[in-house]
Structure 1
Amino acid sequence: MNQKNVDRIKLKDKEIILIGTVHVSKNSVKLVDEIIKKEKPDTVGVELCENRYKSLNSKKKYENTKITKIMKEGKTYLFLANLLLAGFQKRIGEDLKIKPGAEMIQAIKAGKNASADIVLLDRDIQVTLKRALRKMGFFEKFRILFSLIYGVIFSEKMEREVIEQLEEKDMITQMMEEFGREVPSVKTVLIDERDIYIANKILTSKGKKMVAVVGAGHVEGIKKHLKKKENIGPLEKIPKGSKWVKTIAYSIPAIFIGIIIYGFLHHKSIELTFTMLLYWFLINGTLSAIGAILALAHPLTIISAFIAAPFTSLNPTIGAGIVAGLVEAKVREPRVKDIQNLNQITNMRGFYENRVSRILLVAAFANMGSAIGTFAALPYLLSLI
């Protein structure tokens, strides 16, 4: 890594030294330390929020995790994605023998040694993740989860040269643009909005000279938004859930009942009605059970997913995954070490061996199976009429 990853920006009343880093690079750590010692800034800003800062410094960040609460609040996919991303980054860090986020910790340490004020520049991670979740469509959530799982399963050990290449700004920008094309709504929340937020925090921070340490992928966006202050109030709010999702969820029971009634009135056949109910039960239950099987659930959990799915699909307030997850948590109760070792998971085997993460996989996969079963069963029932 060299000085081309450092931008010196002079504004009317402030000088900003913007350092673009990679979160798992020893060169990034070294550069950050050297720049802060050399520049002796009034302020050092880092791309962290309060929660992420505590997470980097805490070895017990998951010990207060309540798995049942996560499932009941509909945060299963969010928590799984967080674990998958953290595990992937941790594995890269282990390959390079460096702790993820080490350059941010070093920036804070060097800043304190230089008697500089420390500013956490990033938006609260919970706000960012919740905004991303609310803006994602139904299939986008599945696509991202499967992409993350695929990456954990099939990504091989990365060579040092490959990681160091990620420090090239144009490569990072290209990656972000590709990600934006794949999932534009998420890219807006994870990248664009944070560029605006971080730039605004830099502009409003005290001091005449500031060193700002950010991920390389944010540099160009931050530079663009440093030209003027913007209102970040709306970016700190969590939008309401999509009305379309709720409409579809509450429409399914009505559609199902309508199909059953229409079939009975059209054919005057109780036998057909029972056949339609049977197929609804079998299709929905079987696919949810298959999801539980893929998560290596306990046999009782698989049975519960099979039985619950046909009924929960007609109830928008509860999913088959919640039922399956709660049963799995009951028959394979998480141990203290499972919670303590959540941040040590770096591969798919670890996800299956840890009882907490496996409960989340069970809940997610059972839900997916039930959802697929619902959308497969309704057209099939129509074909029977």
Structure 2
Amino acid sequence: MKFLPAGYKTKDLEKPVKNKWRWDWLNECDEKGDKWGNWLKKTDIPGVAFCECCAKTIKYGSSGKKGLKNHAKDSNHLKNKSVVPGLRQRADNPVVPSTVTTLETPWGSKVYIVGTAHFSKESQDDVTKTIEATQPDVVMVELCNSRLNILQLDEEKLLEEAQNINLEKIQLAIKQSGLGQGIMHLLFLSMSAHLTKQLGMAPGGEFRRAFRDAKKIAGCRLQLGDRPIQVTLRRALSSLSVWQKIRLAWYLLTSNDPISKEDVEKCKQKDLLEEMLKEMTGEFPGLSEVFVKERDSFLAHSLKHAAQPLPHPVVPGAHLPSVVVGVVGMGHVPGIMENWEKLQYNMKDIMTVPEEGYLPKVLRFGFRLSFLGIFTFACWRVYRWATPMIT
């Protein structure tokens, strides 16, 4: 059994029944003034509707609107309606910004994907409007556990953090991700810091807004939907040859061109970081595969998981379709749509970290050996300098 969207042409479907379905029935109100559309759904079965409050079907084929009206007055229905959360607050077709794409699962859950530009105040406002209009059960953001702290810090602190890459940050990145992945992470952080300085806005504002707005809705939970950054970075590095890694590092270190006012306006209309990655795919095609396509599939999988039906609060064993708002970079939206019906990647495969080759191990060992040599030489110089003073 599936639910039909409002306005769906039911003429052919309803041929076998005496009293045909009418969409204007959803605008009828009960004795308390609540619209039927807040709990009544049309199914893909002729002559059958569904009450979300009672988690049961209602046959109207023989009795028409009268049968639905009797159900609306039933004491059990009124009792259930008073305890089922959220049904009276949700519009059947909420008005959402143009940056929102609506998807539906086979079990009737709705997913509203807000495509954002990571450096845009307008995107943050779109997130608020969408959450307020849809009253979701789950808000999913394009983050992983390693980037969870972006939700806790205030805008000024994040701006300061992004603009200052110090030795402590370098050591922490290498400690968490290893030498190669840590350096690559820092190079991408450097690119983000450059954009932050130019735009005067820290990235991730739409995620912080989603976090704050989700907390205002009773029962709404936040879900992290992105693949762990360490896995993404290691898979990205493994997709490049040694020469490509050197060229990529050079590209990231030297791509600090000033951003014009026109570029700032463009940032409000597209995912700038994703666009910069697309520009690099000519020389580094593996990066597009790992950073964009694989993550599109992972995000689609996360959204479907977030949209699982919810246990009915009144009827044992019954379930209700859920409502989900996903907040992702707009560069991911087309890919999520392509992966919605069928995932293009196996989740186990794209969560696998390739084994490190022989050459990276040699380079890492050489780096550590060089660092140890420099440290030993520095200690020897300090000893030579301090010895005459002690004697």
Alignment map for 1:275-314 (pairs within 5 Å) = none
Which amino acid in the other structure matches residue 195 of structure 1?
Answer: D
Which of 280, 283, 286 is the matching residue for 1:185?
Answer: 286
CA displacement at 1:177 relative to structure 2: 4.3
CA displacement at 1:193 relative to structure 2: 0.7
Which of 76, 79, 101 is the matching residue for 2:182?
Answer: 79
Bigger drift between 195-204 and 26-35 goes to 26-35
- 2:333 matched to 1:219? yes
- 2:149 matched to 1:46? no
Which amino acid in the other structure matches residue 354 of structure 2?
Answer: P
Residue pair 2:97, 2:130 contacting (<8 A) in 1 also: no
Residue pair 2:294, 2:350 contacting (<8 A) in 1 also: yes
Q: Name 2:130's counterpart in structure 1.
A: 35
- 2:62 matched to 1:16? no
CA distance in 1 between counterparts of 2:349 and 2:117 reads 29
Secondary structure of 1:162 counterpart = helix
CA displacement at 1:142 relative to structure 2: 0.7
CA displacement at 1:85 relative to structure 2: 2.1
Residue pair 1:24, 1:89 contacting (<8 A) in 2 also: no
Q: Name 2:230's counterpart in structure 1.
A: 126
Secondary structure of 1:122 counterpart = coil
Q: Name 2:349's counterpart in structure 1.
A: 234
Alignment map for 1:126-205 (pairs within 5 Å) = 126-152=230-256, 155-156=257-258, 158-168=259-269, 176-205=277-306
Residue pair 1:44, 1:107 contacting (<8 A) in 2 also: yes
Count how many residue pairs are aligned between Structure 1 and Structure 2.
259
Q: Name 2:195's counterpart in structure 1.
A: 92
Which of 321, 326, 351 is the matching residue for 2:367?
Answer: 321
Which amino acid in the other structure matches residue 323 of structure 2?
Answer: K
CA distance in 1 between counterparts of 2:100 and 2:370 reads 51
Quickly say closer, same or farther: Cα 1:165–1:329, change in 2 above 3 A: farther
Identity, % of aligned positions: 26
Which amino acid in the other structure matches residue 370 of structure 2?
Answer: A
Secondary structure of 1:87 counterpart = helix
Quickly say closer, same or farther: Cα 1:160–1:93, change in 2 above 3 A: farther
CA distance in 1 between counterparts of 2:232 and 2:123 reads 25
Quickly say closer, same or farther: Cα 1:99–1:66, change in 2 above 3 A: closer
Q: Name 2:40's counterpart in structure 1.
A: none
CA displacement at 1:63 relative to structure 2: 9.2
Which amino acid in the other structure matches residue 262 of structure 2?
Answer: E
Deviations 1:280-338 (A, max 9, x none): xxxxxxxxxxxxxxxxxxxxxxxxxxxxxxxxxxx9476543333344556789xxxxx
Quickly say closer, same or farther: Cα 1:168–1:326, change in 2 above 3 A: same
CA distance in 2 between counterparts of 1:171 and 1:120 reads 22
Larger radius of gyration: 2
Which amino acid in the other structure matches residue 45 of structure 1?
Answer: M
Quickly say closer, same or farther: Cα 1:159–1:316, change in 2 above 3 A: closer
Deviations 1:118-148 (A, max 9, x none): 1101011111111111222111111110000
CA distance in 2 between counterparts of 1:6 and 1:108 reads 18
Quickly say closer, same or farther: Cα 1:219–1:330, change in 2 above 3 A: farther
Bigger drift between 135-144 and 164-173 goes to 164-173
Residue pair 1:17, 1:212 contacting (<8 A) in 2 also: yes
CA displacement at 1:89 relative to structure 2: 1.8
Secondary structure of 1:98 counterpart = coil
Q: Name 2:99's counterpart in structure 1.
A: 5
Alignment map for 1:54-73 (pairs within 5 Å) = 54-55=149-150, 57=152, 67=171, 70=174
CA displacement at 1:169 relative to structure 2: 5.3
- Cα root mean square deviation, aligned: 3.5
CA distance in 2 between counterparts of 1:215 and 1:137 reads 28
Which amino acid in the other structure matches residue 241 of structure 2?
Answer: G
Counting helix residues as a fraction of each chain, which structure ranks higher?
Answer: 1
- 2:215 matched to 1:112? yes
Quickly say closer, same or farther: Cα 1:173–1:240, change in 2 above 3 A: closer
- 2:324 matched to 1:210? yes
Residue pair 1:77, 1:145 contacting (<8 A) in 2 also: no
CA distance in 1 between counterparts of 2:325 and 2:177 reads 39
CA displacement at 1:55 relative to structure 2: 4.8
Secondary structure of 2:342 counterpart = coil
CA displacement at 1:93 relative to structure 2: 2.7
Which of 94, 102, 120 is the matching residue for 1:25?
Answer: 120
TM-score with structure 2 length normalisation?
Answer: 0.58
Deviation >6 Å, runs of 4+: 59-66, 170-174, 330-333
Quickly say closer, same or farther: Cα 1:171–1:317, change in 2 above 3 A: closer
CA distance in 2 between counterparts of 1:330 and 1:37 reads 60
